[in-house]
Copies of this chain bind each other. A is one copy, B any other.
Amino acid sequence: MATTTHIPAAVVRRLPGYYRHLAEREQQGETRISSQEMSERLGLTASQIRQDINCIGGIGQQGFGYHIHELKARIAEILGMTRSYHMIILGAGNLGRALANYASFRQLGYEVCAVFDNATAMVGKQVAGLPVQSIDTLEAWLAAHPVDIGVLCVPPDNAQEAFDRLVDGGVRGIWNFAPIDLKAPPNVALNNVHLSDSLQILSYRMREIEGLT
């Protein structure tokens, strides 16, 4: 079922969590679930969950809840989990190596195909079974291989240049871990990840629990 409806970003952001929870319940042999049960586990109100599911075209039944398998399939479809993605990593430092080795990505359909670095000392070293390639060969590689997503694990000063080279080479999805807010042209999807955001949100919760806020 393809749909042209726009799904609000806030809803999309909650879908991976819903998916994980549904997969977990399905693995436990369950076939249906209520918004109330999801609410308890996910820390959202049942009403919020019903709204979100309604928004993605999921249909629940009064007194029955949702078919886990159906709902899970619908979310997988929306998140594009029914296909696979070719991903390359720019920057073979600790973070680049960590992401290259992150097993969950492959399970979800994201395959790291190449790793690049600008340090001569890194070139040729193995990262997640792949030889690190010189960043000088990036354009040649992009011309010869399909790449869906480029992951930026480079220092902030190199991020804009690396971004431009990926986009010029036809990459349409950029996952940026350099702590700088890049801007993308309208035909490129960009996610600026700030790991510190998540740390600051944690601190807020700590203060809330302590009653200090």
Within 8 A of B (CB), among A1-52: 2-4, 6-7, 10, 12-13, 15-17, 20-21
Q: Is the CB of A110 within 8 A of B199?
A: yes
Task: Pick from B110, B187, B204: contact of A79, CB below 8 A.
Answer: B204
Q: Is the CB of B172 within 8 A of A85?
A: no
Given A199-B108, A213-B3, A173 contacting B206 (CB threshold 8 A) = yes
Residues of B close to A101: CB separation below 8 A: 94
Docked pose: A13 CA to B203 CA in angstroms: 12
Count copies of this chain in the complex. 2
Q: Is the CB of B94 within 8 A of A203?
A: no
Q: Is the CB of B15 within 8 A of A149?
A: no
Shortest Cβ distance from residue A193 to the other chain B in the assembled complex, whole angstroms: 6
Number of interface residues of A (CB under 8 A): 66
Task: Pick from B10, B173, B207, B208: contact of A203, CB below 8 A.
Answer: B173
Residues of B close to A123: CB separation below 8 A: none
Shortest Cβ distance from residue A106 to the other chain B in the assembled complex, whole angstroms: 10
Q: Mark A133-156, 1 if CB is under 8 A from B, else 0.
A: 000000000000000110000000
A197 in the interface, Cβ–Cβ < 8 Å?
yes
Within 8 A of B (CB), among A95-118: 95, 97-99, 101-105, 108, 110
A121 in the interface, Cβ–Cβ < 8 Å?
no
Docked pose: A197 CA to B81 CA in angstroms: 12
